[in-house]
Structure 1
Amino acid sequence: MGSVGVQIVCVALCVFGLIGVIVCCAVPLWKVSSFTGSNIVTAQSTQEGLWTSCVVQSTGQQQCKNYDSLLVLPSDLQAARAMTIISCMLSSLSLLILFCGADFTTCIENEDAKPKISLVAGVGMLLAGLLVIIAVSWSANSVVTDFNNPLVQASNKKELGACIFVGWGAGVLLLLAGGLICCFSRPKSGSSGGAAKYYSNSSAPSANKNYV
Protein backbone atom coordinates (compact mmCIF):
# COMPACT_ATOMS: atom_id res chain seq x y z
CA MET A 1 0.00 0.00 0.00
CA GLY A 2 2.95 2.27 0.69
CA SER A 3 4.29 1.90 -2.83
CA VAL A 4 0.87 2.78 -4.26
CA GLY A 5 0.85 6.02 -2.28
CA VAL A 6 4.36 6.86 -3.43
CA GLN A 7 3.41 6.22 -7.05
CA ILE A 8 0.38 8.50 -6.78
CA VAL A 9 2.56 11.25 -5.30
CA CYS A 10 5.09 10.76 -8.10
CA VAL A 11 2.35 11.04 -10.71
CA ALA A 12 1.24 14.35 -9.18
CA LEU A 13 4.82 15.64 -9.05
CA CYS A 14 5.42 14.65 -12.65
CA VAL A 15 2.20 16.37 -13.79
CA PHE A 16 3.15 19.62 -12.05
CA GLY A 17 6.68 19.35 -13.41
CA LEU A 18 5.39 18.80 -16.93
CA ILE A 19 3.12 21.84 -16.63
CA GLY A 20 6.09 23.91 -15.49
CA VAL A 21 8.21 22.80 -18.44
CA ILE A 22 5.38 23.63 -20.87
CA VAL A 23 5.05 27.09 -19.31
CA CYS A 24 8.79 27.65 -19.69
CA CYS A 25 8.65 26.58 -23.31
CA ALA A 26 5.66 28.74 -24.25
CA VAL A 27 5.83 31.92 -22.16
CA PRO A 28 8.34 34.60 -23.32
CA LEU A 29 9.71 35.48 -19.87
CA TRP A 30 13.23 34.13 -19.94
CA LYS A 31 14.90 37.54 -20.12
CA VAL A 32 13.32 40.86 -19.13
CA SER A 33 14.52 44.45 -19.28
CA SER A 34 16.68 45.77 -16.46
CA PHE A 35 16.07 49.31 -15.19
CA THR A 36 19.38 49.92 -13.46
CA GLY A 37 22.00 52.62 -13.67
CA SER A 38 21.26 55.35 -16.18
CA ASN A 39 18.40 53.38 -17.79
CA ILE A 40 15.44 55.29 -16.35
CA VAL A 41 13.13 54.97 -19.34
CA THR A 42 10.38 52.74 -17.99
CA ALA A 43 7.72 53.54 -20.57
CA GLN A 44 8.31 50.17 -22.20
CA SER A 45 10.04 46.92 -21.35
CA THR A 46 11.19 43.97 -23.41
CA GLN A 47 10.59 40.32 -22.72
CA GLU A 48 12.44 37.52 -24.48
CA GLY A 49 11.50 33.87 -24.65
CA LEU A 50 12.43 30.82 -26.65
CA TRP A 51 10.23 31.67 -29.62
CA THR A 52 9.24 35.34 -29.45
CA SER A 53 10.40 38.74 -28.25
CA CYS A 54 7.79 41.10 -26.83
CA VAL A 55 7.62 44.81 -26.06
CA VAL A 56 5.26 45.79 -23.25
CA GLN A 57 4.11 49.39 -22.99
CA SER A 58 3.36 51.12 -19.69
CA THR A 59 -0.29 51.26 -20.76
CA GLY A 60 -0.43 47.44 -20.83
CA GLN A 61 -0.28 46.99 -24.59
CA GLN A 62 1.98 44.19 -25.74
CA GLN A 63 3.47 43.50 -29.14
CA CYS A 64 5.30 40.26 -29.87
CA LYS A 65 7.41 39.19 -32.81
CA ASN A 66 8.83 35.83 -33.72
CA TYR A 67 12.55 35.58 -34.14
CA ASP A 68 13.59 36.06 -37.74
CA SER A 69 16.05 33.18 -37.78
CA LEU A 70 17.39 30.52 -35.48
CA LEU A 71 20.92 31.62 -36.28
CA VAL A 72 20.45 35.06 -34.73
CA LEU A 73 19.64 33.58 -31.32
CA PRO A 74 22.35 33.24 -28.70
CA SER A 75 23.68 29.77 -28.04
CA ASP A 76 21.92 29.44 -24.68
CA LEU A 77 18.48 29.98 -26.21
CA GLN A 78 19.22 27.65 -29.11
CA ALA A 79 20.15 24.88 -26.68
CA ALA A 80 17.22 25.73 -24.40
CA ARG A 81 14.79 25.19 -27.26
CA ALA A 82 16.01 21.67 -27.86
CA MET A 83 16.34 20.76 -24.19
CA THR A 84 12.92 22.01 -23.14
CA ILE A 85 11.19 20.24 -26.03
CA ILE A 86 13.01 16.99 -25.23
CA SER A 87 12.14 17.46 -21.56
CA CYS A 88 8.45 17.87 -22.42
CA MET A 89 8.52 14.71 -24.52
CA LEU A 90 10.38 12.70 -21.87
CA SER A 91 8.06 13.89 -19.11
CA SER A 92 4.93 12.99 -21.09
CA LEU A 93 6.30 9.60 -22.11
CA SER A 94 7.50 8.82 -18.58
CA LEU A 95 4.09 9.73 -17.19
CA LEU A 96 2.37 7.33 -19.59
CA ILE A 97 4.88 4.57 -18.79
CA LEU A 98 4.36 5.13 -15.06
CA PHE A 99 0.61 4.73 -15.48
CA CYS A 100 1.18 1.43 -17.27
CA GLY A 101 3.55 0.09 -14.62
CA ALA A 102 1.85 1.48 -11.54
CA ASP A 103 0.32 -0.82 -8.95
CA PHE A 104 -2.99 1.05 -8.99
CA THR A 105 -3.61 0.30 -12.68
CA THR A 106 -4.33 -2.93 -14.52
CA CYS A 107 -2.74 -2.05 -17.86
CA ILE A 108 -0.12 -4.77 -17.30
CA GLU A 109 -1.10 -7.99 -15.53
CA ASN A 110 2.45 -9.25 -14.97
CA GLU A 111 3.38 -8.16 -11.46
CA ASP A 112 7.07 -8.94 -11.97
CA ALA A 113 7.29 -6.57 -14.96
CA LYS A 114 5.66 -3.60 -13.23
CA PRO A 115 8.71 -2.59 -11.13
CA LYS A 116 10.93 -2.65 -14.22
CA ILE A 117 8.48 -0.51 -16.18
CA SER A 118 8.19 1.95 -13.29
CA LEU A 119 11.98 2.10 -13.08
CA VAL A 120 12.14 3.10 -16.77
CA ALA A 121 9.62 5.87 -16.05
CA GLY A 122 11.71 7.07 -13.12
CA VAL A 123 14.86 7.28 -15.23
CA GLY A 124 12.95 9.24 -17.87
CA MET A 125 11.76 11.74 -15.24
CA LEU A 126 15.31 12.17 -13.96
CA LEU A 127 16.58 12.91 -17.46
CA ALA A 128 13.72 15.34 -18.11
CA GLY A 129 14.43 17.20 -14.89
CA LEU A 130 18.15 17.43 -15.64
CA LEU A 131 17.49 18.77 -19.13
CA VAL A 132 15.22 21.60 -18.03
CA ILE A 133 17.54 22.54 -15.16
CA ILE A 134 20.52 22.67 -17.51
CA ALA A 135 18.53 24.80 -19.99
CA VAL A 136 17.41 27.44 -17.50
CA SER A 137 20.74 27.45 -15.65
CA TRP A 138 22.65 28.06 -18.88
CA SER A 139 20.35 30.95 -19.77
CA ALA A 140 20.57 32.36 -16.24
CA ASN A 141 24.36 32.23 -16.35
CA SER A 142 24.33 34.12 -19.65
CA VAL A 143 22.05 36.81 -18.23
CA VAL A 144 24.15 37.26 -15.08
CA THR A 145 27.39 37.38 -17.09
CA ASP A 146 26.06 40.09 -19.41
CA PHE A 147 24.60 42.02 -16.48
CA ASN A 148 27.97 42.15 -14.70
CA ASN A 149 29.87 42.96 -17.89
CA PRO A 150 30.84 46.67 -17.79
CA LEU A 151 31.17 46.75 -21.57
CA VAL A 152 27.44 46.07 -22.05
CA GLN A 153 25.30 49.19 -22.09
CA ALA A 154 22.74 49.57 -19.32
CA SER A 155 19.91 49.74 -21.84
CA ASN A 156 20.89 46.32 -23.22
CA LYS A 157 21.20 44.55 -19.89
CA LYS A 158 18.63 41.93 -18.98
CA GLU A 159 17.42 40.31 -15.78
CA LEU A 160 16.16 36.83 -14.98
CA GLY A 161 12.58 36.28 -16.04
CA ALA A 162 9.91 34.28 -14.28
CA CYS A 163 10.37 31.27 -16.56
CA ILE A 164 13.88 30.73 -15.20
CA PHE A 165 12.53 30.19 -11.69
CA VAL A 166 9.58 28.14 -12.96
CA GLY A 167 12.05 25.93 -14.83
CA TRP A 168 14.12 25.37 -11.72
CA GLY A 169 11.00 24.41 -9.79
CA ALA A 170 9.78 22.09 -12.53
CA GLY A 171 13.18 20.42 -12.74
CA VAL A 172 13.25 19.82 -8.99
CA LEU A 173 9.76 18.28 -9.09
CA LEU A 174 10.75 15.94 -11.93
CA LEU A 175 13.97 14.94 -10.17
CA LEU A 176 12.08 14.28 -6.96
CA ALA A 177 9.46 12.18 -8.75
CA GLY A 178 12.08 10.21 -10.66
CA GLY A 179 14.17 9.63 -7.55
CA LEU A 180 11.22 8.33 -5.55
CA ILE A 181 10.16 6.01 -8.36
CA CYS A 182 13.69 4.61 -8.73
CA CYS A 183 13.96 4.03 -4.97
CA PHE A 184 10.62 2.26 -4.58
CA SER A 185 10.52 0.39 -7.91
CA ARG A 186 12.59 -2.63 -7.02
CA PRO A 187 11.85 -6.18 -8.16
CA LYS A 188 10.33 -8.38 -5.52
CA SER A 189 12.88 -10.82 -4.11
CA GLY A 190 10.45 -13.35 -2.72
CA SER A 191 9.91 -15.40 -5.88
CA SER A 192 13.28 -17.22 -5.81
CA GLY A 193 12.91 -18.18 -2.15
CA GLY A 194 9.47 -19.64 -2.78
CA ALA A 195 10.81 -21.74 -5.64
CA ALA A 196 13.60 -23.08 -3.45
CA LYS A 197 11.15 -24.11 -0.76
CA TYR A 198 8.99 -25.81 -3.35
CA TYR A 199 11.81 -27.98 -4.68
CA SER A 200 13.01 -28.90 -1.21
CA ASN A 201 9.55 -30.11 -0.22
CA SER A 202 9.13 -32.08 -3.42
CA SER A 203 12.45 -33.85 -2.94
CA ALA A 204 11.51 -35.09 0.54
CA PRO A 205 9.27 -38.01 -0.57
CA SER A 206 11.90 -39.31 -2.98
CA ALA A 207 14.45 -39.41 -0.20
CA ASN A 208 12.08 -41.46 1.98
CA LYS A 209 11.52 -43.94 -0.87
CA ASN A 210 15.27 -44.58 -1.16
CA TYR A 211 15.47 -45.48 2.50
CA VAL A 212 12.47 -47.81 2.21
Structure 2
Amino acid sequence: MVILTPLMMQRTALFVTFGGLVTSLTTTFLPLWKTMNSDLNEVENWFSGLWHACLYTEEVGIQCKAFESIMGLPADLQISRVLMLVSVGTGGFALLLVFPGLEGVGMCVGRPGLKRRLLVLGGVLAWVSGLSTLAPVSLVAYTTVVEFWDEGYPDVMPRWECGEAMFSGWFGGLALVVGGTLFFVAVCMADYDQRSGREPIGRRAEHRTEHYLKTEVL
Protein backbone atom coordinates (compact mmCIF):
# COMPACT_ATOMS: atom_id res chain seq x y z
CA MET A 1 0.00 0.00 0.00
CA VAL A 2 1.50 3.33 -1.09
CA ILE A 3 1.00 6.04 1.54
CA LEU A 4 2.93 8.88 -0.08
CA THR A 5 0.69 9.68 -3.04
CA PRO A 6 -0.12 12.95 -4.82
CA LEU A 7 -3.52 12.96 -3.11
CA MET A 8 -2.01 12.66 0.38
CA MET A 9 0.60 15.28 -0.49
CA GLN A 10 -2.10 17.68 -1.67
CA ARG A 11 -4.08 17.21 1.52
CA THR A 12 -0.98 17.72 3.66
CA ALA A 13 -0.13 20.88 1.74
CA LEU A 14 -3.68 22.16 2.19
CA PHE A 15 -3.59 21.49 5.93
CA VAL A 16 -0.18 23.14 6.41
CA THR A 17 -1.13 26.17 4.29
CA PHE A 18 -4.40 26.64 6.16
CA GLY A 19 -2.61 26.45 9.51
CA GLY A 20 -0.05 28.99 8.36
CA LEU A 21 -2.77 31.34 7.13
CA VAL A 22 -4.67 31.19 10.42
CA THR A 23 -1.45 31.81 12.36
CA SER A 24 -0.52 34.77 10.17
CA LEU A 25 -4.01 36.22 10.47
CA THR A 26 -3.84 35.93 14.26
CA THR A 27 -0.39 37.48 14.31
CA THR A 28 -1.61 40.46 12.29
CA PHE A 29 -4.00 41.59 15.01
CA LEU A 30 -2.13 40.46 18.13
CA PRO A 31 -0.88 43.36 20.30
CA LEU A 32 2.18 41.33 21.32
CA TRP A 33 4.68 42.31 18.66
CA LYS A 34 6.73 44.25 21.21
CA THR A 35 6.71 44.20 25.01
CA MET A 36 8.17 46.57 27.59
CA ASN A 37 8.51 46.33 31.36
CA SER A 38 9.83 49.27 33.34
CA ASP A 39 12.21 48.54 36.20
CA LEU A 40 10.89 51.63 37.98
CA ASN A 41 7.31 50.31 37.93
CA GLU A 42 7.29 46.52 37.67
CA VAL A 43 3.51 46.21 37.94
CA GLU A 44 3.05 47.85 34.53
CA ASN A 45 3.60 45.91 31.31
CA TRP A 46 3.31 47.55 27.91
CA PHE A 47 2.41 45.69 24.72
CA SER A 48 2.48 47.06 21.19
CA GLY A 49 1.19 45.64 17.91
CA LEU A 50 0.51 46.90 14.41
CA TRP A 51 -2.85 48.45 15.25
CA HIS A 52 -2.90 49.36 18.94
CA ALA A 53 -0.89 49.51 22.16
CA CYS A 54 -1.95 47.98 25.46
CA LEU A 55 -1.12 48.52 29.12
CA TYR A 56 -1.49 45.78 31.70
CA THR A 57 -1.70 46.50 35.41
CA GLU A 58 -2.70 44.18 38.22
CA GLU A 59 -5.32 46.60 39.51
CA VAL A 60 -7.11 47.46 36.24
CA GLY A 61 -6.14 44.66 33.87
CA ILE A 62 -5.54 45.23 30.16
CA GLN A 63 -6.34 48.59 28.57
CA CYS A 64 -5.79 49.00 24.82
CA LYS A 65 -5.83 52.06 22.60
CA ALA A 66 -5.66 52.13 18.82
CA PHE A 67 -3.04 54.23 17.10
CA GLU A 68 -4.66 57.50 16.09
CA SER A 69 -2.47 58.48 13.15
CA ILE A 70 -1.06 56.16 10.52
CA MET A 71 1.48 58.74 9.38
CA GLY A 72 2.75 59.10 12.92
CA LEU A 73 3.76 55.45 13.11
CA PRO A 74 7.36 54.33 12.56
CA ALA A 75 8.21 53.23 9.03
CA ASP A 76 8.66 49.59 10.05
CA LEU A 77 5.12 49.39 11.44
CA GLN A 78 3.62 51.05 8.36
CA ILE A 79 5.39 48.61 6.06
CA SER A 80 4.45 45.69 8.29
CA ARG A 81 0.77 46.60 8.16
CA VAL A 82 0.74 46.53 4.36
CA LEU A 83 2.75 43.33 4.06
CA MET A 84 0.68 41.43 6.64
CA LEU A 85 -2.54 42.38 4.85
CA VAL A 86 -0.97 41.25 1.57
CA SER A 87 -0.01 37.98 3.24
CA VAL A 88 -3.52 37.28 4.50
CA GLY A 89 -5.07 38.19 1.15
CA THR A 90 -2.73 36.08 -0.98
CA GLY A 91 -2.93 33.18 1.46
CA GLY A 92 -6.73 33.13 1.35
CA PHE A 93 -6.71 33.42 -2.43
CA ALA A 94 -4.24 30.53 -2.63
CA LEU A 95 -6.60 28.25 -0.71
CA LEU A 96 -9.49 29.25 -2.96
CA LEU A 97 -7.45 28.39 -6.05
CA VAL A 98 -6.05 25.05 -4.94
CA PHE A 99 -9.34 23.64 -3.67
CA PRO A 100 -10.82 23.01 -7.16
CA GLY A 101 -7.47 21.56 -8.23
CA LEU A 102 -7.37 18.87 -5.56
CA GLU A 103 -7.90 15.25 -6.56
CA GLY A 104 -11.22 13.91 -5.36
CA VAL A 105 -12.93 17.31 -5.56
CA GLY A 106 -15.81 17.33 -8.02
CA MET A 107 -14.72 20.52 -9.72
CA CYS A 108 -12.84 20.88 -13.03
CA VAL A 109 -13.45 17.17 -13.60
CA GLY A 110 -11.90 15.90 -16.81
CA ARG A 111 -9.50 18.85 -17.03
CA PRO A 112 -6.25 17.67 -15.45
CA GLY A 113 -4.29 20.50 -17.06
CA LEU A 114 -6.45 23.09 -15.37
CA LYS A 115 -6.16 21.32 -12.02
CA ARG A 116 -2.40 21.26 -12.37
CA ARG A 117 -2.23 24.98 -13.15
CA LEU A 118 -4.44 25.79 -10.17
CA LEU A 119 -2.15 23.85 -7.84
CA VAL A 120 0.95 25.54 -9.22
CA LEU A 121 -0.60 29.00 -8.96
CA GLY A 122 -1.83 28.25 -5.45
CA GLY A 123 1.67 27.14 -4.45
CA VAL A 124 3.15 30.37 -5.83
CA LEU A 125 0.62 32.47 -3.90
CA ALA A 126 1.32 30.48 -0.74
CA TRP A 127 5.01 31.29 -1.18
CA VAL A 128 4.18 34.99 -1.63
CA SER A 129 1.99 34.89 1.46
CA GLY A 130 4.70 33.22 3.53
CA LEU A 131 7.40 35.66 2.47
CA SER A 132 5.01 38.57 3.09
CA THR A 133 4.69 37.34 6.67
CA LEU A 134 8.35 36.60 7.30
CA ALA A 135 9.51 39.98 5.96
CA PRO A 136 7.58 42.33 8.31
CA VAL A 137 8.12 40.15 11.37
CA SER A 138 11.86 40.04 10.70
CA LEU A 139 11.91 43.80 10.03
CA VAL A 140 10.20 44.68 13.31
CA ALA A 141 12.42 42.21 15.17
CA TYR A 142 15.52 43.80 13.63
CA THR A 143 14.52 47.37 14.51
CA THR A 144 13.57 46.28 18.04
CA VAL A 145 16.95 44.64 18.62
CA VAL A 146 18.81 47.63 17.18
CA GLU A 147 16.93 50.08 19.41
CA PHE A 148 17.36 47.82 22.44
CA TRP A 149 21.14 47.87 22.13
CA ASP A 150 21.36 51.53 21.14
CA GLU A 151 23.89 53.13 23.47
CA GLY A 152 22.35 56.56 22.87
CA TYR A 153 19.44 55.76 25.20
CA PRO A 154 19.92 56.24 28.96
CA ASP A 155 20.24 53.00 30.91
CA VAL A 156 17.25 53.84 33.11
CA MET A 157 14.93 54.27 30.11
CA PRO A 158 12.78 51.18 29.45
CA ARG A 159 13.17 49.61 26.03
CA TRP A 160 10.98 47.51 23.80
CA GLU A 161 11.67 43.79 23.47
CA CYS A 162 10.44 41.16 21.01
CA GLY A 163 7.02 39.75 21.93
CA GLU A 164 5.33 36.42 21.41
CA ALA A 165 3.71 37.53 18.14
CA MET A 166 7.14 37.59 16.52
CA PHE A 167 7.54 33.85 16.99
CA SER A 168 3.99 33.05 15.86
CA GLY A 169 4.60 35.18 12.77
CA TRP A 170 7.79 33.30 11.93
CA PHE A 171 5.98 30.00 12.42
CA GLY A 172 3.02 31.07 10.26
CA GLY A 173 5.23 32.39 7.46
CA LEU A 174 7.35 29.25 7.46
CA ALA A 175 4.22 27.07 7.37
CA LEU A 176 2.93 28.97 4.33
CA VAL A 177 6.24 28.52 2.52
CA VAL A 178 6.30 24.81 3.36
CA GLY A 179 2.68 24.44 2.25
CA GLY A 180 3.42 26.07 -1.09
CA THR A 181 6.45 23.81 -1.55
CA LEU A 182 4.34 20.73 -0.83
CA PHE A 183 1.89 21.77 -3.56
CA PHE A 184 4.81 21.87 -6.00
CA VAL A 185 5.92 18.43 -4.79
CA ALA A 186 2.39 17.08 -5.29
CA VAL A 187 2.35 18.40 -8.86
CA CYS A 188 5.73 16.80 -9.58
CA MET A 189 4.56 13.49 -8.14
CA ALA A 190 1.42 13.57 -10.30
CA ASP A 191 3.51 14.36 -13.39
CA TYR A 192 5.83 11.45 -12.61
CA ASP A 193 2.90 9.06 -12.19
CA GLN A 194 1.48 10.23 -15.49
CA ARG A 195 4.78 9.74 -17.33
CA SER A 196 5.27 6.30 -15.79
CA GLY A 197 1.80 5.22 -16.86
CA ARG A 198 0.27 5.12 -13.39
CA GLU A 199 -3.30 6.21 -12.95
CA PRO A 200 -4.28 8.63 -10.17
CA ILE A 201 -5.93 7.05 -7.16
CA GLY A 202 -9.14 8.99 -7.66
CA ARG A 203 -9.57 7.69 -11.19
CA ARG A 204 -8.70 4.14 -10.12
CA ALA A 205 -11.41 4.30 -7.48
CA GLU A 206 -13.91 5.55 -10.05
CA HIS A 207 -13.01 2.71 -12.42
CA ARG A 208 -13.36 0.14 -9.64
CA THR A 209 -16.76 1.57 -8.79
CA GLU A 210 -17.89 1.44 -12.42
CA HIS A 211 -16.62 -2.12 -12.76
CA TYR A 212 -18.45 -3.14 -9.59
CA LEU A 213 -21.70 -1.57 -10.81
CA LYS A 214 -21.43 -3.33 -14.17
CA THR A 215 -20.72 -6.65 -12.47
CA GLU A 216 -23.68 -6.15 -10.15
CA VAL A 217 -25.99 -5.45 -13.10
CA LEU A 218 -24.81 -8.58 -14.90
Same fold (TM over 0.5): yes
Written as runs of structure 1 = structure 2, the 5 A alignment for 1:82-161 is: 82-109=82-109, 110-153=111-154, 154-161=156-163
AA of the residue aligned to 2:81: R
AA of the residue aligned to 2:149: N
AA of the residue aligned to 2:179: A
Per the normalisation by structure 2, the TM-score is: 0.81
2:12 aligned to which of 9, 18, 21: 9
- Equivalent residue, structure 2, for 1:68: 68
Per the normalisation by structure 1, the TM-score is: 0.84
User: Structure 1 residue 184: deviation in Å?
Assistant: 2.3
**SS across alignment from 1:70:** coil
The alignment's C-alpha RMSD in Å is: 1.8
Provide the C-alpha distance between the structure 2 equivalents of 1:6 and 1:60, rounded to a whole number of angstroms.
Answer: 49
User: Structure 1 residue 60: deviation in Å?
Assistant: 5.8
User: Structure 1 residue 22: deviation in Å?
Assistant: 1.0
Provide the C-alpha distance between the structure 2 equivalents of 1:27 and 1:188, rounded to a whole number of angstroms.
Answer: 41
Aligned length: 189
1:179 aligned to which of 171, 178, 181: 181
AA of the residue aligned to 1:120: L
- Equivalent residue, structure 2, for 1:80: 80
AA of the residue aligned to 1:25: T
Verify the 8 A CA contact 1:34 1:155 in the aligned structure 2. no
C-alpha offsets along residues 94-121 of structure 1, whole Å, 9 cap, x if unaligned? 0111101111212111122211110000
Verify the 8 A CA contact 1:44 1:55 in the aligned structure 2. yes
Bigger radius of gyration, 1 or 2?
1
AA of the residue aligned to 1:171: G
AA of the residue aligned to 1:82: V
Provide the C-alpha distance between the structure 2 equivalents of 1:60 and 1:107, rounded to a whole number of angstroms.
Answer: 54
Verify the 8 A CA contact 1:116 1:185 in the aligned structure 2. no
C-alpha offsets along residues 58-79 of structure 1, whole Å, 9 cap, x if unaligned? 2361111111101111111101
User: Structure 1 residue 34: deviation in Å?
Assistant: 4.1
Verify the 8 A CA contact 1:33 1:158 in the aligned structure 2. yes
Structure 1's consecutive aligned runs of 4 or more residues displaced over 3 angstroms after TM superposition are 153-156, 186-191
C-alpha offsets along residues 7-28 of structure 1, whole Å, 9 cap, x if unaligned? 1111111111011111111111
Name stretches of at least 5 consecutive residues in structure 1 with no aligned partner. Answer: 194-212
Verify the 8 A CA contact 2:127 2:177 in the aligned structure 1. yes
